[in-house]
Amino acid sequence: MNIYAENETANALPFVSRIEDVFKAQCEAGLIRRGTFDRKARIAQLDRLKAAILRREDEIIAACFADFKKPAAEVKLTEIFPILQEISHTKRHLKSWMKVKRAMPTLGVLGTTARIQPEAKGVCLIIAPWNYPFQLALGPLVSALAAGNSAIIKPSEETPHTSALVADLVAETFSPDLVAVFEGDVAVATQLLDLPFDHIFFTGSPQVGKIVMTAAAKSLASVTLELGGKSPTIVGPTANVKKAARNIVWGKFANNGQTCIAPDHVFVHRDIALKFNDAVKKEIGRVFGETPEAQKLTPDYCRIVNDRHFNRVSGLIEDAKSKGGKITLGGQVDAAQNYVAPTLISNVTADMEISREELFGPILPIIEYEDIDKVIQQINANPKPLALYIFDKGKTLVDEVIARTSSGAVGVNLTVVHFLHPNLPFGGVNNSGIGAAHGVYGFRAFSHEKSILHDKHSITHMLFPPYTGFVKRLINIVVKVLG
């Protein structure tokens, strides 16, 4: 499919096929648009995107199902809804986000007026992952367009049906000098990263994030890195066990565990461990079926995205079993379908791969604890996670864990839902990410806040050389009084 067919609109860009041509066209068009891509024009582009998504909803659902048998309801909730909400929220608040803000003077700069004016960074690159291939390709685009930028999107080749749909949807919605898509493997990504983009928004693994950041350093492009890590979950002694099980099962096994903020492993207090294990098993049975056969046949359970990832996830289970891990539920796999059953593992030890590697699959290690200090020490011994979850009725445990750990976000008595909160920054810290997305935070990520200072009646010239005795005395007074 040719995604760069000529557009019939007045600002159509002639047929182009090379990455460099599109990049150059976006650079040139951006200079022309600068100062004219106002709020009305930005909202018009967001409306076009929303209309295209709504018009092609059935195709989006079909593409996600073709790539990894994702249920239609889950596609609507996790792929389509977040983008539509982001568009609505952005349109509602864009006027205030774009507003030039006054900066009050200090005594040292009396006689001046100052303002801060958000402006587009320019040409942006969005590299999307495979686990939420539609939402994480077009969600960041909402922020990029809202901030006045153009963008090139690189969808994941590991979800080819959704990638092709994203490319086709973008081509029919935008002129390539505003938004374009390049499909392909790592060679395409490498060629894109060789270009001097103004900003790069990457979602993926910490390992690849380092490669992206290294490439960005060549042109000193700013970056937003949405990465991942092993998001720990703590179930305290006074937790509502039924509620904890319900939230953890949904957060863990939605999208077959292929979620960067899914609960990676659970620390459960020994006093309620048996009750919690039973509650999790019961919840899995309620949601996906009470027998292995029913779980495999349910239409509400996704699949691992491809053979490579299936082999990795099934290998994690085999490694844990070989080192003394106990499969308390699940463990069934089917390579022909890339199927891995919802799996619970106990007797977890530090030498198991599940203790070291981000699981990114339907495996839930459950670890009993008595001393919260040891749990916190273990969390802090690992890279800072993208999310951390705490279940407990008491405020003391929750506050202690929040105060003594560092993570991109914290969920208290829920999982994953913070991603859907448009007024919260979504992002990691250090190994789990740099920068933030969503709402005003996404707008800021794709914006440069330009400082503008006007001289009205400033007397700073009195401090300029030559440094006569009077000027020196005046400088001394300024340093003493204002410093």
The number of beta carbons lying within 10 Å of the beta carbon of residue 222 is 17
Please, what is the end-to-end C-alpha distance for the chain in angstroms?
64
* Nearest partner of 388 among 422, 428, 361, judged by Cα: 428
Report the C-alpha gap between 411 and 169 in whole angstroms: 34
What one-character-per-residue DSSP string does 264-283 give?
A: -EEEEEGGGHHHHHHHHHHH
74, 226, 283, 358: which is the annotated catalytic residue? 226
Give me 86's structure tokens: 């982001």
Query: Is residue 175 a contact partner of residue 16, using CB atoms and an 8 Å limit?
Result: no
Distance of CA 180 to the CA centre of its chain: 20
* Nearest partner of 51 among 87, 11, 94, judged by Cα: 87
Q: What is the 3-state secondary structure (H, E, C) of 96-140?
A: HHHCCEEECCCHHHCCEEEEEEEEECCEEEEECCCCCCCHHHHHH
Between strands 101-103 and 112-120, the pairing is antiparallel
Rg of the chain (C-alpha set): 26
Is 27 a catalytic site residue? no
* Nearest partner of 261 among 341, 135, 358, judged by Cα: 358
Is 226 a catalytic site residue? yes
Contacts of residue 98, defined as CB under 8 A and 6 or more positions apart, other chains included, come to: 39, 118
* Nearest partner of 152 among 98, 195, 205, 215, judged by Cα: 195
* Nearest partner of 29 among 136, 132, 152, judged by Cα: 152
* Nearest partner of 381 among 251, 230, 270, 213, judged by Cα: 230
Report the C-alpha gap between 114 and 450 in whole angstroms: 11
Report the C-alpha gap between 325 and 316 in whole angstroms: 11
74, 124, 158, 260: which is the annotated catalytic residue? 260
DSSP 461: G
Give me 107's structure tokens: 């005594």
Report the C-alpha gap between 44 and 37 in whole angstroms: 10
Report the C-alpha gap between 19 and 2 in whole angstroms: 13
The number of beta carbons lying within 10 Å of the beta carbon of residue 396 is 11
CB-count exposure of residue 424 (10 Å: 0-12, 13-18, 19+): middle
Which residues are designated catalytic? 226, 260
